[in-house]
């Protein structure tokens, strides 16, 4: 390990892995330069193979809610590993995790554990189609729900980073079953339901969009979406894979729930990232009568060799148990402080920008945005070259930001004053470099 370099690993990876990466946004494709290969992480820091330490603002793209290698999570996982890696049969940890999720989430009676967020949304859509016997799905432009065929149209995350409208390899028939609408646009929803209402199985939405940078639902949008969908007999799938247990203790829906009429509740939810504590685990969740449509009780099939894996379930349990009120208040305070410091540094050198918030989530849009962007068309006006310059200056100074202007900045409850101070020290020079673009 000690003699490896980032550049050498990039070359070797490029020979045997497409694009050198196992998930596109890791490739630094939009910011340029050599990706860092991380050898370890602890608390708010990650260390690359060359021994360089960075303050980590990627947070494993979400799972690292409490920072890396939290001792109680590591020891719980080590104990679980010692008992065997998985049995392909039911085990106690998955039952305990399901019970914990049901206890924490007010509108959830049952959960089915899967391995990735992609599987969770794919399964939620299959349940919705099974429940309604309708074919069509509505998604919003710039929302990312994983890489299943029907959900890649106008998606955020890696597709936004690489400016891809969708994916090759998706049939026209499949793409035609997804209606893509602008986010935060009640009129567009009304029109789509007026035209296709009897054919629409579900609306799938990120609880707050966070894969095109952060774009929160406008006040009243979630309530309108629920009312319109339900009026037409369609379900609402609230995707909390990114926001769940992060935007707030019960996700972004938990922050909005009190402002929505009690008879309007999402029908299905999806979770991932934090619920697996960094190991591959995700969940579909919802009301009992919908969840019981899944096999073996019902006719909607879903299964997985690794689903509910005991080591992954243990990591999720240990993480959620450690995520107490104090952790969420540290997370919120760190997000507030960092967002304010970044904004001040950019303002000091006249770099136009806008900080986007949703609960504890935030991202920074570079460019002139006199009004808050409502959706994908608006955020695409950002200055990605400026972000690239800022990103590299921060990286040079030992701060690892998401290698794309379209991503959330992932703070953790472990980002203490010392870690935040290192970020703050790096900001003036990074802001100056952004100002030269």
Question: To which residue do tokens 């799905």 refer?
Answer: 137
Candidates 186, 180, 185, 215; CA nearest to 200 is 180
Is residue 110 annotated as a catalytic residue, yes or no?
Answer: no
Quick check: is 56 catalytic?
A: no
Closer to ligand PMP by CB, 36 or 145: give it: 145
Of residues 195, 204, 197, the one with CA closest to residue 127: 204
Query: Which residue lies nearer to ligand PMP by CB, 24 or 130?
Result: 24
Q: Which stretch binds ligand PMP (CB under 6 A): 2-10, 72-80, 114-122, 125-133?
A: 114-122
Using the minimum distance from each CB to ligand PMP, give the nearer residue, 118 or 224: 118
**Residue 238 touching ligand PMP (CB under 6 A):** no
117 counts as binding ligand PMP under rule CB under 6 A: yes
Whether a cis peptide bond, with omega within 30° of 0, leads into 293 is: no
| 316 forms part of the interface with ligand PMP (CB under 6 A) | no
Query: Which of 160, 152, 251, 162 has the alpha carbon at shortest distance from 213?
Result: 160
Q: What is the full DSSP assignment across 222-246?
A: HHHHHHHHHHTT-EEEEE-TTTTTT
C-beta closer to ligand PMP: residue 147 or 232 = 147
Among the residue ranges 10-18, 85-93, 113-121, 338-346, the one whose residues contact ligand PMP (CB under 6 A): 113-121
Report d(CA 49, CA 38) in Å as an integer: 6
Strand, coil or helix: what is 117?
helix
Residues 183-222 that bind ligand PMP (CB under 6 A): 206, 211
Nearer to ligand PMP, 61 or 193 (CB): 61
Q: Give the distance, in angstroms, between the CA of residue 60 and the centroid of all CA atoms in the same chain.
A: 10
The reply on whether position 116 binds ligand PMP by CB under 6 A is: yes
How many residues touch ligand PMP under the rule CB under 6 A: the total is: 16
Q: What are phi and psi of 45, to 5 degrees?
A: -115, 150
Least distance from ligand PMP to the Cβ atom of residue 246, Å: 10
In the complex, minimum distance from the CB of residue 375 to ligand PMP, in angstroms, rounded to a whole number: 15
| Using rule CB under 6 A, residue 59 touches ligand PMP | no
Instruction: Answer for the pair 185, 224: CB distance below 8 angstroms, yes or no.
Output: no
Q: 3-state DSSP call for residue 138?
A: strand
* Separation between Cα atoms, residue 358 and residue 255, nearest integer Å: 9
For CA atoms 4, 7, 11, 13, the dihedral sign is positive
Residue choice 28, 45, 144, 362 for contact with ligand PMP (CB under 6 A): 144
Least Å distance, CB 389 to ligand PMP, is: 25
Judged by CB under 6 A, the residue of 30, 132, 157, 161 near ligand PMP is 157
Which residues, in sequence order, are CB contacts of 68 under 8 Å at separation 6+? Answer: 40, 41, 42, 43, 44, 45, 46, 56, 60, 414
Contact string 277-296 vs ligand PMP (x = CB under 6 A): -----x--------------
Active-site annotation holds for 273:
yes
CA distance 41 to 229: 44
Nearest residue to ligand PMP, by Cβ distance, number only = 117
Does residue 272 interact with ligand PMP by CB under 6 A?
yes
Residue 307 beta carbon to ligand PMP: minimum distance, rounded to whole angstroms? 13
- Indicate which residues carry an active-site annotation: 144, 239, 273
- Site for ligand PMP, rule CB under 6 A: 61, 116-118, 121, 144-146, 157, 206, 211, 239, 241-242, 272, 282
């Amino acid at each position: 390990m000690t003699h490896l370099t980032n550049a050498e690993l990039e070359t070797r990876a490029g020979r045997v892995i497409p694009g050198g990466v196992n998930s596109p946004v890791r490739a630094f494709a939009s910011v340029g330069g050599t990706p860092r290969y991380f050898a370890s992480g602890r608390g708010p820091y990650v260390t690359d193979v060359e021994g360089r330490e960075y303050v980590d603002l990627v947070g494993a793209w979400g799972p690292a809610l409490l920072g890396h290698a939290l001792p109680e999570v590591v020891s719980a996982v080590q104990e679980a590993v010692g008992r065997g890696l998985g049995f392909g049969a039911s085990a106690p940890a998955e039952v305990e995790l399901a019970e914990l999720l049901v206890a924490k989430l007010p509108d959830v009676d049952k959960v089915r554990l899967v391995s990735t967020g992609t599987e969770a949304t794919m399964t939620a859509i299959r349940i919705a189609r099974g429940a309604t016997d309708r074919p069509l799905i509505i998604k919003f432009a710039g929302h990312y729900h994983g890489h299943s065929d029907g959900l890649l149209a106008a998606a955020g995350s890696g597709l936004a980073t690489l400016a891809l409208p969708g994916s090759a390899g998706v049939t026209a028939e499949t793409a035609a079953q997804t209606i893509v609408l602008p986010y935060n646009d009640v009129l567009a929803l009304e029109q789509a339901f007026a035209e296709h209402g009897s054919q629409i199985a579900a609306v799938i939405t990120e609880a707050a969009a966070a894969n095109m940078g952060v774009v929160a639902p406008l006040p009243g949008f979630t309530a309108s979406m629920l009312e319109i969908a339900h009026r037409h007999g369609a379900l609402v799938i609230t995707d909390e894979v990114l926001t769940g247990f992060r935007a707030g203790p019960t996700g972004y829906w938990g922050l909005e729930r009190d402002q929505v009429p009690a008879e309007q509740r999402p029908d299905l939810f999806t979770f991932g990232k934090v619920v697996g504590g960094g190991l591959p685990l995700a969940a579909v969740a919802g009301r009992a009568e919908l969840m019981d449509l899944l096999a073996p009780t019902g006719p909607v099939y879903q299964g997985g060799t690794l689903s509910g894996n005991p080591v992954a379930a243990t990591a999720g349990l240990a993480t959620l148990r450690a995520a107490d009120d104090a952790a969420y208040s540290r997370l919120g305070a760190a997000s507030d402080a960092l967002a304010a410091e970044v904004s001040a540094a950019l303002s000091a050198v006249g770099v136009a920008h806008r900080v986007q918030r949703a609960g504890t989530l935030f991202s920074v849009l570079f460019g002139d945005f006199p009004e808050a962007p409502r959706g994908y068309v608006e955020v695409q006006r950002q200055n990605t070259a400026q972000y690239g310059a800022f990103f590299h200056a921060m990286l040079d100074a030992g701060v690892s930001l998401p290698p794309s202007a379209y991503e959330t900045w992932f703070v953790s409850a472990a980002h203490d004053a010392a870690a935040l101070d290192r970020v703050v020290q790096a900001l003036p020079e990074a802001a100056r470099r952004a100002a030269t673009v």
